[in-house]
Amino acid sequence: MKELLEGRVAVVTGSGSGIGAAVTQSFLKSGASVVATGRRMKKLERLGQHEQLELVAGDVTEPDFAGHLLDTAISRFGKCDIVVNNAGVMWAGPSHEIDIEHVISMVRVNIEAAFRVAHLFVRHFYKQNSGHIINTSSVLGTKVRPNAGAYSATKYAVEALSETMRMELSETNVKVTCVEPGLVMTDLHDHFDVHPKDASGLDEPLVPDDIARIVLEVATQPEHVLIPKVMVLPKHGAI
């Protein structure tokens, strides 16, 4: 496993916990150098110390932050090959009751920040004619559910961005992949009164390592192979 990403350099957003933390650890074990970022350094430090790991705490919605991440990858490790555009938050509720300020903050992270990161890194990858953008979407980026319309809308935006970038870059060596997880046990739902697994009666939801395995598989395909989209669902209760 160590040689799968040997010599590759990745930036992973939302690395303080959940999917981002699992992807970071998976990439490190596979030989990659990683710039891991999240809002709080205390959470990032749970990733441990690693010679090939650079921690960068900050707000991914800030206009200059994506550029700072790319600059860090280049200055620390000499280049950048992969960005896992993963930072996200989730607020849910009926459209006539949901707090609009929660919606706006979610739009800033899930759409604005995701677009800022993708835009900055795709320009860099296009210039070097290589690189892989892996955007974290959701099964809710392909279908809507009651009370999840606002969140779904943010992930539909990620789907649209990913697909248009894939088409625009089809004649280059730059890859774009959209990962669509079902319910994953992360901090995303910590503020919910009723956890979605209980609301849906799902006994065995996904865990972050499940998604990290898929991301690693996507990132280690031969150069001539592109996986544009991959949906990952829990076996039981997945509809």
**How many Å apart are CA 99 and CA 101, to the nearest integer?**
5
Cα atoms found within 13 Å of the Cα of residue 102, Cβ hemisphere only:
16
**Is 181 in contact with 138 (CB distance < 8 Å)?**
yes
Positions in the chain short of pLDDT 50? none
How many structural domains is the chain composed of?
1
Give a yes or no: residue 49 inside a domain.
Answer: yes
- The answer to whether residue 153 sits within a structural domain is yes
Residue 239 in any domain: the answer is no
List b or e across 21-41, with b for residues whose CB sees 16 or more CB atoms inside 10 angstroms.
bbbbbbbbebebbbbbbbbee
Please report whether residue 212 resides in a domain: yes
pLDDT at 197: 63
Domain annotation covers residue 134: yes
| Domain assignment of residue 76, yes or no | yes
pLDDT score recorded for residue 185: 77
Per-residue model confidence (pLDDT) at position 190: 61
Would you name the residues annotated as active-site residues? 151
The separation between CA 160 and the C-alpha centre of its own chain, rounded to angstroms, equals: 15
Is the pTM here over 0.75, yes or no?
A: yes
pLDDT tens-digit readout, 147-171? 999 999 999 999 999 999 999 999 9
42 Cβ contact partners less than 8 Å away, ≥ 6 residues apart: none
pLDDT of residue 199: 61
The pLDDT of residue 194 is 60
Question: Is residue 103 assigned to a domain?
Answer: yes
Domain assignment present for residue 223? The answer is: yes
- Provide the CATH number for the domain around residue 127: 3.40.50.720
CA distance 10 to 13: 10
pLDDT digits (tens, 9 = 90+) for 92-119: 899 999 999 999 999 999 999 999 999 9
Question: What pLDDT shows up at residue 204?
Answer: 79
Total residue length of the chain = 239
Domain range for 193: 9-232
